[in-house]
Structure formats: structure tokens, C-alpha cells
Amino acid sequence: MEVVNPATGERIETYEAAGEAAVERTLADAQRAFEQWRERPLAEREELIASAADVLREDKREYAELMTREMGKPVSQAESEVEKCAWVCDHYAEHAHAYLEADHHPSPPGTEVETVHEPLGVVLAVMPWNFPFWQVFRFLAPYLTAGNVGVLKHASNVPGCAEAIEGILREAGYPEGVFQSVLAPSDLVDDIVADDRVRAATLTGSGPAGRAVASAAGDQLKKMVLELGGSDPFVVLDDADLDDAAETGAWARNLNGGQSCIAAKRFVVHTAVYDDFLDRFVDEVESLAVGDPMDEDTEVGPQAREDLVADLHDQVAASVEAGATVVTGGEPMDREGAYYPPTVLTDVPEGCPADSEELFGPVAAVYEVDDEAAAVERANDTEFGLGASVWTADRERGERVARRIDAGCVYVNQLTKSDPRVPFGGVKESGYGRELSEAGMKEFVNRKTVWIE
């Protein structure tokens, strides 16, 4: 595995991919570790995840720079990602006991009936490169604290991040084998899922990858959680605060170089405010600082790989050929590195890539609609259903519209985001299952009913 700095095109590191023998050792170690880890008192597991938060904060800059070198995230955003990882660790250190407390049920006199929450075993996590620390910690913090053990198959362009996370848990005091990274190629994933020692799997990534892993898990009757792509609508109604909506919308589309499943991608704007919003939105987009991701002032860095720039531009070019208008951006930047500028498209025809596909980069598609009903219809006119955002001065109206949008989460007057305190996940082609909060923690436990006569 060769790691290339996307800001410079330079090869910075080479890692040896794991073969079948290494995978076998990893799974054997994981299974052995589970037998003891499951018996570890929950209070001790809470203390360990709290220690992981301490390690993250102690070396925040080191981990941030590693992310930036491997996948191009602006270093200030990478530091924020490390802080968020520490937060999710703090959350489960504080709340795991309450989340996993036994549920008691009505029963006949003299009996006691409860549901207890027991770990399943070895959980495989197939994780993407776009948030190379956060995606992993939002998996490991709840599932390891619940008593499972984890095996991470990370994206091939962020192997340093994968190894660093394993190192963080070792430094925090986790026993050997409780969390392991295996730098396996994708063609070994099906075999790992099929292995009897693996009891469940979670994947964040593309639709094709999700289908492949879900099919393998389904054949073995194993539990899956999938967080796949998104084409999130950002609905601006006629009574919205346009300055706030435009500023937040520009950030919601271009954060992390636009490489986020829950980025705002389709801007659905009421005709009464369309022109005003578009002017303000384009001004905000054009003001974003594009540059060296190691520079603290950079807001948009490179895309993670050169081939991703080519794929994104093909989608933009096909949309323009179909009739879309480029208001700003629209061409790869003439500079060293995998840079694509923040781009705004209008007059987007139905069925073109910008309308029907996920654009995983800093490209916004803006639509004009006549009324609230048309806004909801346009928001739902997608195969995806991950997140959405609604902008209005009327909170009751915002809630009403939010409830009509088909998505796993809808934010009113706020950008779509994941938060340890609330469930996160999608519907339709965006996947199934939930991560984070109590709901996420209980995805990979055996909810065992115990009846005592």
C-alpha cells in the first residue's frame, strides 16, 4: 500500500498489505481476547475508553497532521476531528452503564423477567478514508465498551491512521487483541465476514461496497450496520435567514473538501428568495480559502486522490453537457496536487449526474422551487436518505417540513452532523441500522431475556 500526499503528489510511505496468514492470526487473537474481555467489568471498560480520550487529546496535533498528510484534510479540521473522537470516548465512558442497564418487564407474582445486553463477539469494521479517525472511533467507542472486540479493515490510502488508532488503544491500556487493525486488501473482506469467529460487521462507504459486504453477511446470517452514500438536501424556505443559510450552506457543502456523506449537496430554494440566496451563497463559496492543508488558514484542501478529482470532474462535465450552468468553479485547479475548486451549478437537469448521483467533492447543485410542497418533493427525489437540513424562521414550520423529508436525520436551521448523543444513520440507499447514542450501542449486543421463576 503506497500512501501519496494528495497536496503534493509525493509518495510518503509504503505499507505491506496483510495476506491470509496475517488475517488468520488477527482473528485468532481477537477471539481469544473476547473470552476475557467480555468478562471485564463494565466500569473498567468505561475507564479504558476514558483513557483513550486522554491519549487523543495529548497528541492531537500529531494525529491531525497524519490525517492531513494521508488524505488532505485541512489540519485545523483534522484537529477538530481528533477532539470529536475524544468526545465520543467521553460520552460512552459516562453513559455506557445507563445504556446497558437491564430492562425489567411485567411478570407473574414470584417471578423476575429482565432483558440483559451481552456482547456478540468479534465485530469487523470496514471504514472509509474521508474521516479516518472519527469513523473508526464512533464504531469502537460504543462496541468495545459494550464488551465486543474489534477488527478494523481501513481504507488503503490511510494505513498510517489505522495503525495510529491501534496504538492509541494500546497506550490507553487496552489488552492485546481487543482492537486490531489489519491492512487487508478488499478482496479478502468477504472471507473475513464469512469466518465463524466474526459475529457482526459494520461498513461506512459506497453503495457497491455496502451491498457486497451485506450480501456476504446475509449469507452467514450476521448482523450488519451500513452507513452509505448521501445526496442531502439543504432546503431554504421563503422566510429563512438568508445570511445564516448561505454562510452555513457554503460550509456544509465544502467542509472536508466536500468529501462527506452528510454534506449538503442539493440546495432546494424557494423562488421568492432564490436570487438573493444564490448571490449570497456564491459569495460565501468564493470566499473560502483553498490551499495547503497544513496551513492553519486553509478551509478547503485537496481531494483525497487524483482519480477522485477526475471522477468528480467527469460528473460535472456530464451535467454541464446536459444543460447545467456553472456559476463558479467547474474545472480542476491548475496547481500541484489533487485540487478541485468549490463549485456551484444551477439549471440542473433531471437525471444528470449532479441531480441523480452523489457528488463526493465540493460541488453544489442549486434548484429553484415554487413552494413548500415542491421543496419537499424535490428533497425526496433521490435514491438516498441520509440527512437533510431545513431553513426557516418558523420553528413549527421547520419541524413540519422535517417530518416530511425521507432521511435518517433532519436538522432545522443547522447543518447536518453526527453527534454522540443522538442516533445516526440513513434510509433507502443510504443504508440501515444506527450508530451512536444508546441505539447505536445496542446494535451489536444480544438482547437476552432472562426469566427467573
Q: What is the CA radius of gyration of the chain?
A: 23
Residue 147 CA to residue 45 CA, distance in Å, equals 8
Do the beta carbons of residue 125 and residue 136 sit within 8 Å?
yes
Q: Which DSSP string do the residues of 404-434 spell out, in sequence order? A: HS-SSEEEESS-----TTS-B--EETTEES-
CB hemisphere CA count around 414 (13 angstroms): 12
Residue 330 CA to residue 371 CA, distance in Å, equals 29
Q: Which three cell numbers stand for residue 442?
A: 445496542
Q: Helices (DSSP H) in 173-206: which residue ranges?
A: 189-194
Residue 144 CA to residue 36 CA, distance in Å, equals 13
Residue 261 designated active-site:
yes
Do the beta carbons of residue 257 and residue 300 sit within 8 Å?
yes
Nearest alpha-carbon partner for 127 in 65, 86, 91, 85: 85
Antiparallel, parallel or unpaired: β 343-346 and 122-126:
unpaired
- Residue 406 vs residues 233, 240, 246, 409, 436: alpha-carbon distances, Å: 10, 21, 23, 9, 20
DSSP3 helix / strand / coil % (the chain, rounded to 5)? 45, 20, 35
Nearest alpha-carbon partner for 241 in 271, 270, 266, 277: 277
Reading phi first (left if > 0) and then psi (alpha if -120 to 50, else beta), residue 339 is in beta
Do the beta carbons of residue 252 and residue 416 sit within 8 Å?
yes
For 241, phi then psi, to 5°, come to -75, 105
| Annotated catalytic residue, options 261, 352, 357, 435 | 261
Residue 448 CA to residue 281 CA, distance in Å, equals 52
| Annotated catalytic residue, options 70, 166, 227, 429 | 227
Q: Which residues pair with 428 in a beta bridge?
A: 384
Do the beta carbons of residue 339 and residue 290 sit within 8 Å?
yes
Residue 89 designated active-site:
no
Q: How many CB atoms lie within 10 A of CB 450?
A: 10
Q: Helices (DSSP H) in 146-273: which residue ranges?
A: 159-172, 189-194, 207-219, 242-254
Q: Catalytic residue numbers?
A: 227, 261
